[in-house]
Structure 1
C-alpha cells in the first residue's frame, strides 16, 4: 500500500493542475498565468518551506527559471534566428521551398515535414527548428501557408525525427546513460530507429493533412486589404536578363505582380517596366529582374550612407495628408530624393480614389493626391525628416531591408553553433584528436554574442527577437518542474503507477509507462521525466519479470512525446510567438498525436521484443 503523498507533493500537483486549467481556458493571458504560478510557488514555499530548506530557498526555486540555462538557450536561439532573418541568409533555402509551395501547398508542406524529420535524426532537434523557423515565417509572408498552420506540424516532425536516434535529443542521451548506469548494455545510434520510422509513417498523414486544419490563420491582413503599389522598374545595364524574352521571365515572378503596360519582346538595357504589386512582390521582382524602382544614384547613396553610419535601411509606408506640398506633383517634379535623400519605390492609391484620377499607367506622370500611400526607402532619420517636412503620416509596418553583406557571416555563425552542438569541434587531448561536443546552451550563447559583435544583429534591436510571453512561460515551467521533483510528487506518482501495472498485459504496461512519462514531460520537463521515469521503468521490469529494454524505450519515447503543451519543450516555446499560438492550440493538436504515437509505439515495442 502506497503512503499518502506529502503536503508539498499535493500542493505541487494542485498548482500544476490549476495552471493547466488556466492556460486551457484562456481567460487570462499566458504572461499573467505564468507570473501568478511563479508567485504562488514563491509565497507558498516562503511560508511553508520544503523539509530541510529555508524560506529563502523557496524564493530561489520559484525564480530560478529566469536564470536557467534553458531560458538562456532559448533567448540565444531566438537572437540567432533574428540574425538569419535580417541578413537574408536563408533566402536561397526559402526560395527553394517557395518554389515547391508554388507547385502545390500540400506538396510543399509534405516536403518540409520530411526535411525536418530527417534533419533532426542527425542534428539536435532544437537547432533544426531554429534553422527552419525563419524560413517558414518568410514563406508565410510571401503567400504560402500561414505560419500558424505550419509551425506546430513542423515542430512535431522535428520532435519525432529527434526521437529516432540516441543522438537526436539530449534527453535520449540522458535516458540511455541512466539505463547504462542501472546495468543495461549501451545502445547504438540507430538501435531503435526502425521502430520510430514505422511510427512516423503512421503519424505523418496526421501531421500533413489533419493538424493544419485544426489550427487557425494568424495572418492579420487578408489579400483584399494588402496595399498594391504602382511602380516603374528600371532594368540595369549589367542585368543578366538583358536580351531575354519577357514571356520567359513571367513564370518566375510572384503571382501578385501585374504589368500595367504589358511589355513585348525582349528586355532591353535601361528599359522601364510599369507594374504593380504588394511591398513583398516588388522586392521579389527587383531581385529576379535585377532592377531598381528608384533612380540608381539615389539607391546607391542610401546604401553608401547606411554603411558609413552603420544604420539599417528601412522601407515605410506614408500617407499623403491634406497639408502636404506633394499634392498635385509627380515624383520627378517633387524633389524628394534631392531634399531628403530617400527613394519612393511605389504609390498606392486607395480604391475609393481611383475614380477621381485615372488608373495609373506606370511612371512618374502620376499626380499625387491626398490619401495616396507612398512606399519610401531610406535611413530612419531621413525618413522622419521627410514625413515631418512634407506633412506625411507614417503608417505601421515599417520593414528593415536585409543586410545582405552579412548574410554569409550570419549563416556561418549559425552553422558553427549547430555543428559544435551536434557534431562537435576537433580537439586534441591525451588520447589524440577527437570531436568535442559543446552543450547547446554554450554554442547558442556564443553564436548570439558573435551575432552582436559582427553587427548581424544590432544590440538595440534585440527586443524584436525575444518574446516576453515565452520568457515568463519558460520560467514558470522550470519552477513547476522543480517543485514536482523536489516535493516528491513525481516519485509518489511512479510508485502508485507501479502498483497498478501488476495484472496488465505487456502492451498496456508499456503504454502506461509511456503515458506517465509523457504526462511528466508535458508539465514538468524532459530531464525530470527521464530522471524519474528511467529508474521506475527498470524497477517495474524487475518486479513484473519483463525485459528492461522495451520499458526503458517506452520512457525514452514518452520523453519525446511533448506536443500537448507549450511548456513541454523549448522548441514548442520557440514557435509560440511566431505562430501566435495559444495554450489550447497545443492541446487541440497535441493530445490526438500523443494518443496516436503511444498506441503505435506500444504495439511496435511488443512486436519487436516478442512480449
Structure 2
C-alpha cells in the first residue's frame, strides 16, 4: 500500500513560510541583516504567543523565540571571537603571519593554496571551528600587510575547513552525531577513516574551485583605502643589542618593507645608536622597528610610557594628530618642541602634506623640519595622556587610533588558545566549554581588556546567530522537518538507487543550510536507514549521504557557526555565500554521490 502524503500542520507551514521570507530578505539585500534577523525573531515571538505550539503556553513560545540569545552556540561564537581578539592584540600570531606573508610575497596564488591545504588537513583531525579561529586573525593580519584582502580569502578558507572536517568521524561534532544515531538504529559502527578516501577524491575536485574560482567571485570588501595611507618621516634609533649592528646598509635595506624609503647615506655599516632617516606608512615603520630592534622615538620616553602602562594596566595607543594654526608647535622642530618634557607621549613620525602656495619646509638645527599647520603627528601614549597632549598643544585628533600589541603577553595568549583548541580537539571538553574557559582566562590575565571586548564582538553576527538558532528550533518542533522528510521518502521509491542516494544528500544539504546540522542529522539519518530497508539497499552509503549532506553548509551564513564567524571580518553579505557556496555544493554533491555509488557498487 502506497503511503499517502498528508498536508503539513499550520505551524509547520508557517515555519517554512518564515524561512523562505527570511531567505528572500537576505538575498535581496535591501535591509541590513541584523534588522531582518530581529524581524524574524519578532514574527516568531508574536506568532507563537497568539498561536502556541501543541502542549505549549503562550509564554513558552516567547521563551523559544528568544532562546537563541542564550544558546551555547552563540556563547561559543562570542568566546571564539574574544580568543581571536586576544591573539591579535598581543601579536601572538605575528610569526605565523610573517611565514605565510613570505609565501604570499613569493606568489599570491601559491600562498593561498598552501593555506587552504594546511587548513584542510588540520580540520581532518581537529574540529574545524578552532582551526578557523586560529587562521582567521592570521589572514586579517596578512590583509593589512598587503596580501589578498580578507574578503577574498576567508570564505575559501572556511570552505577548506568544512571539506576537511567531513573526511573523518572526528572532524565535526555532526559526524559523531550521525554515526551514533546510525549505530543506535542497528548499523555497524563506522570507523574514523572508513570514508576518508571518498572525501579525498571529492576534495581533489573541489579545492581547485575553492582556490582559483571562489576568490574571483568575491568582491574586495575593504572599507579602508590603503592606497591613500599617510607616509610618515621618522628617525629610527638602533639599539645596542640589535644583531644587525655591523650589517652593510645595502643588505639592511633589502630586508626592510618594500614601501620604506631611506634618506641619506646608504653605503656605511650599521652602528649602535645610529639614527636612520626613513619614511613610510605606519605599518612600514612598525615592521622596520621589529627587524632592526630599534625605536622611532627617544628610548627613555618609550620606556617611561611602557612602565606607566604596566603599572596602570592600560593599553598603549597610537593616534594621528594634526597641527592646527593655534598650536604652539608651529615653527618649532620636534627635538625643540619639549613634548617629552611636558607630556608623557612619544612622537613616532611626522607626515608633511603637500604645502600650500608660499609655504616652504623650513629646517631647524640638525636638519629637522619645522612644524607647520597641517602636519600630522603619529603619537604614542596612554589614552588620557594623548588627550592632554591634544588639548594642551591645540592638536586635532584624526581617525585611525590603534592599540600597540602587548607582546609581553603574546606567549600567554598563544598558550590559552592552544589549550582551548587541544582540549576541544581531544574531546576533554566540549568546544563551548573550552572556548568560554579560554575567553575568561584572556580577561583574567589581561590579554584582552574588559573595556575593549566590544571591539571583538559583532552585533550583526550575534543577532544573526540568535535568529538562525530560533528558526532551527521552530522548524524542528513545528514538525516542518519531519514533514519534509516524509515527503522525500514518498518520492524516492520511484528513483534508481544512485539517484536515491543523491536525492538524500541534496535534501539534507538543503535542511542543513536553513535549519541546523543537528536537525539535519537527527531527521535525515533515520529516514535514510528506513529507505535503505524499504528498497533493499545497504544502509551505510545512504547514512554516509546524510553525513556528507550535513557538512555541505556553504550556501548561507546561517548554515554553520564558522560561516557567521567570518562574516564580520570579511564584511560579507548574504549573497556572497550564495554566489560562492551553491556551485561548491553542486560540485561536492555530484562528486560524493559518484564516489559513493562506485565504492559500494550500488
Fold conserved (TM > 0.5)? yes
Rounded Cα–Cα distance in structure 2 between residues aligned with 1:543 and 1:250: 73
> What RMSD in Å do the two structures reach over aligned CA positions?
1.5
For the 8 Å contact 2:44–2:65, the answer to whether it is kept is: yes
**Cα distance change of structure 1 residues 362 and 2 upon mapping to structure 2, 3 Å threshold:** farther
1:398 alignment counterpart? 401
SS at match of 1:44: helix
1:121 to 124, 128, 131: 124
Q: Give 1:606 deviation, angstroms.
A: 0.5
Question: Match for 1:422 among 414, 421, 425?
Answer: 425
CA distance in 2, matches of 1:20, 1:28: 12
Residue in 2 aligned with 1:227? 230
TM-score by length of 1: 0.96
Of 291, 306, 310, 1:288 maps to 291
Query: What does the per-residue CA deviation read over 1:507-546, in whole Å, with 9 as the maximum and x for residues that have no partner?
Result: 2212211111111111111111111111111111111111
Q: Map 1:437-476 to 2 at 5 A.
A: 437-476=428-467
CA separation of 1:182/1:256 partners in 2, compared to 1, >3 Å: closer, same or farther?
same
Cα deviation for residue 352 of structure 1 reads: 5.0
Seen in structure 2, the aligned counterparts of structure 1 residues 223 and 68 have a Cα distance that, compared at 3 Å, is closer
Write out per-residue CA displacement over residues 411-451 of structure 1, whole angstroms, 9 at most, x where no aligned residue: 11111111111124xxxxxxxxxxxx210001111111111
Decide which moves more: 245-254 or 483-492. 245-254
After TM superposition, the structure 1 = structure 2 runs for residues 262-301 of structure 1, keeping only pairs within 5 Å, are: 262-301=265-304
CA contact (8 A) 1:231 1:362 kept: no
Q: Give the 3-state SS of the residue equivalent to 2:187 in structure 1.
A: coil
Deviations 1:7-34 (A, max 9, x none): 1000000000000000010111011000
Is 1:212 matched up with 2:215?
yes
* Closer/same/farther in 2, CA of residues 228 and 353 from structure 1, 3 Å limit: farther
CA 1:360/1:112 → structure 2, altered by over 3 Å: closer, same or farther? farther
Deviation at 1:2, TM superposition (A): 1.0
Corresponding residue for 1:67?
Answer: 70
The equivalent residue for 1:312 is: 315
Whole-Å separation in 1 of the counterparts to 2:41 and 2:360: 60
Q: Matches of 1:372 and 1:326 in 2, distance apart?
A: 10
Question: 2-side partners of 1:317 and 1:244: how far apart?
Answer: 33
Tell me, which stretches of 5 or more residues in structure 2 are unaligned? none
Structure 1 contact 236–269 (Cα < 8 Å) conserved: yes
Deviation at 1:338, TM superposition (A): 1.0
The SS at the match of 2:379 is: strand
Q: Residues 97-116 of structure 1 correspond to what in structure 2 (within 5 A)?
A: 97-116=100-119
Q: Could you tell which deviates more after superposition, 90-99 or 499-508?
A: 499-508
Shift of 1:461: 1.0
The answer on 1:585 being equivalent to 2:587 is: no
Q: Which of 167, 178, 182 matches 2:181? A: 178
CA distance, structure 2, for counterparts of residue 315 and residue 510 of structure 1: 58
Who is 1:331 aligned against? Answer: 334
Aligned residues: 599
Distance 1:355 1:313 in 2: 38
Contact 1:231/1:363 (8 A) holds in 2: no
Q: Which residue does 1:258 correspond to in 2?
A: 261
Aligned to 1:427: none
Aligned match of 1:96: 99
Change beyond 3 A, Cα 1:205–1:356: farther
Aligned mate of 1:576, from 567, 585, 599: 567
Q: Does structure 2 retain, via aligned residues, the 8 Å contact 1:230–1:362?
A: no
Q: Deviations over 1:550-577 (max 9, x none)?
A: 1111111111111111111110011000
Using the alignment, how far apart are the partners of 1:203 and 1:446 within structure 2?
Answer: 36
Does residue 158 (structure 1) correspond to residue 149 (structure 2)? The answer is no
SS of residue matched to 2:202:
helix
TM-aligned CA deviation for residue 469 of structure 1: 0.3
State yes or no: 1:510 paired with 2:482: no
4+ residue runs of structure 1 moved beyond 4 angstroms? 352-355, 358-364
State the shift of 1:500 in Å. Answer: 1.1
Work out the CA distance in 2 between the residues paired with 1:580 and 1:234.
39
Question: Is this contact kept in 2: 1:121–1:163, CA < 8 A?
Answer: yes
Hey, what does 2:31 align to over in structure 1?
28
Cα contact 1:274–1:361 (8 A) shared by 2: no
Q: CA deviation at 1:157?
A: 0.4
Equivalent position to 2:533, from 539, 542, 547? 542
Q: 1:503 to 1:315 in 2, by over 3 A?
A: same
Matches of 2:350 and 2:536 in 1, distance apart?
76
Partner of 1:430: none
> What's the CA shift for 1:339?
0.6
- Whole-Å separation in 2 of the counterparts to 1:251 and 1:181: 64
Q: Distance in 1 between matches of 2:121 and 2:397?
A: 45
Pick aligned residue for 2:385 from 375, 382, 386: 382
Q: CA distance change for structure 1 residues 603 and 354 in 2, over 3 Å: closer, same or farther? A: farther
CA pair 137-355 structure 1, distance change in 2 beyond 3 A: farther
Q: Which runs of 5+ in 1 are unaligned?
A: 425-436
Deviations 1:206-247 (A, max 9, x none): 111110111111222334311111111111111100011122
CA 96–361 in structure 1, closer or farther in 2 if over 3 Å, else same: farther
CA distance in structure 2 between the partners assigned to 1:536 and 1:485 by the alignment = 15
Whole-Å separation in 2 of the counterparts to 1:164 and 1:565? 21
